Amino acid sequence: MDNVINSIGIIIYTTLLYTPPLLFAALGSCFSENSGVVNIGIEGMMTIGAFIGATVGHFTGMPWISFLCGGLAGALFGALHALATGKLNADQTISGTAINFLAPGVAILLAKALFNSSDTVPLAPAEKIPLLLNGVFSGGTVWDNFFKNVLTNYATTYLVFIAVLVVWFVFYRTKFGLRLRACGEHPAACDTLGINVLGIRFFSVCMSGFLAGLGGASVTMATMNQFRPTSIVGQGFIAIAAVIFGKFRPQGAMWACLLFGMCSGLKIVLGSNSVISAQLISMIPFVVTVIVLILFVGRSHVPAANGKPYIKSK
């Protein structure tokens, strides 16, 4: 029994360790997709955020400022995507693909310029995102250990769930959120009502870059302690998948991200006793997603104008 409690504790711990980067990025994706802009460049925006976060962290030693800088770096590339897809009405997929080449290229190039290596210098514990409730649970008894696993987490873990609440509130309880979603459904109708479609889309795509950047920074500043070219491998795409899976709603994306995060956790727990191939276990989240889609979700409602540039008629 104690073993079971312990294992569950470890699975929850690893789930909460792997979920925040995905969830930050997924919230970002929610912003842009709901406003009608496909943002496949999330992956690249996460990479630049991951690099800038770890780098600023190393040079300033101030974790929260660095975390924010990671987000701003993502927002910068978000602005590039927003400019291309908004005013210049570029193909959104192509522009996003370009970002996925540009941002990691820039990140590794800067890493080589600043550190003479493609990795950044590892952050000292004090330079990382702080652990909350650290030392409250000594880990002496089984339950104490369980709560230590479940509750002693990096502050980003707590922050990301607050962010879900905030994004949900903005989307469904504010006038701005209604307008944002309307821009994704019927931009022409919004325009006739005097809503600035391009402005809202510009803001949403920048916001998606900002959140993706935070997601990237939470990889290099919490889960790990440095940036490497392999820090962000596919998390951005998984986040996009989570958003589609979660029917383009922030709360849906949250459950999807938790599922992906839990599978990463299972991989570590099950992987330690090598009865099942680690490769097959790694496959679980992706197979599960497909099965869940077939059985329960089916045709998800895509914002009607998603992917279509809005060209204002003169």
Partner 1 sequence: MGISPIAAYQRLITGAFGSTRYLSYCIVYATPLIFTGLAVAFSFRTGVFNIGAEGQFVVGSMAACVVGILVPAPSIVLIPLCFLVAALAGALWGVIVGFLKTRFGINEVLSMIMFNWIAFYLSNYIADLDIIHSTGSAEATKNVADAAMILLPKGLIDGLSLAPKANWGIFLAIIATVIVYVVINKTTTGYELKAVGFNRSAAEYGGINVNRSILLALAISGALAGIGGATQLLGQGGRISIFTAQENFGFQGISVALIGASNPVGVFFAGLFYGALKYGGTKLNLIQAPSEVIDIITGTVVFFIAISHIFRIRVRKGGRQHG
SS3 (DSSP) at 194: coil
Residue pair 219/91 in contact (Cβ under 8 Å)? The answer is no
**CB of residue 106 to partner 1, shortest distance in Å:** 6
Residue pair 14/154 in contact (Cβ under 8 Å)? The answer is no
Between 137 and 260, name the residue whose CB sits nearer to partner 1: 260
Residue pair 278/267 in contact (Cβ under 8 Å)? The answer is yes
**CB of residue 54 to partner 1, shortest distance in Å:** 17
Between 104 and 187, name the residue whose CB sits nearer to partner 1: 104
**CB of residue 65 to partner 1, shortest distance in Å:** 26
Structure tokens at 144: 């104490």
Residues lying near partner 1 in the complex (CB under 8 A): 40, 80, 84, 88-91, 93-95, 97-106, 108-109, 112-113, 230, 233-234, 237-238, 240-241, 244-245, 277, 279-280, 282-283, 286-287, 289-290, 293-294, 297-300, 302
**CB of residue 264 to partner 1, shortest distance in Å:** 12
Between 141 and 277, name the residue whose CB sits nearer to partner 1: 277
Of the candidates 201, 215, 219, the residue with the CA atom closest to the CA atom of residue 79? 201
**CB of residue 157 to partner 1, shortest distance in Å:** 24
- Per the listing, tokens 């873990």 go with 157
Residues 6+ apart with CB under 8 A from 311: 89
Residue 91 neighbours by CB distance under 10 Å: 13
Between 36 and 104, name the residue whose CB sits nearer to partner 1: 104
Between 72 and 106, name the residue whose CB sits nearer to partner 1: 106
Between 87 and 173, name the residue whose CB sits nearer to partner 1: 87
Structure tokens at 292: 């869940």
Query: What 8-state DSSP symbol labels residue 154?
Result: B
Between 34 and 153, name the residue whose CB sits nearer to partner 1: 34
**CB of residue 204 to partner 1, shortest distance in Å:** 18
Residues 6+ apart with CB under 8 A from 3: none
Query: What 8-state DSSP symbol labels residue 222?
Result: I
Structure tokens at 273: 């006793």
Between 200 and 241, name the residue whose CB sits nearer to partner 1: 241
Is the Cα torsion angle 136, 16, 173, 297 positive or negative in sign? Answer: negative
For residues 279 and 272, what is the distance between their CA atoms, to the nearest angstrom?
13
Residue pair 277/267 in contact (Cβ under 8 Å)? The answer is no
Of the candidates 215, 49, 229, the residue with the CA atom closest to the CA atom of residue 57? 49
**CB of residue 233 to partner 1, shortest distance in Å:** 5
**CB of residue 229 to partner 1, shortest distance in Å:** 9
**CB of residue 37 to partner 1, shortest distance in Å:** 13
What are the respective helix, strand and coil percentages of the chain, to the nearest 5? 75, 0, 25
Between 172 and 286, name the residue whose CB sits nearer to partner 1: 286
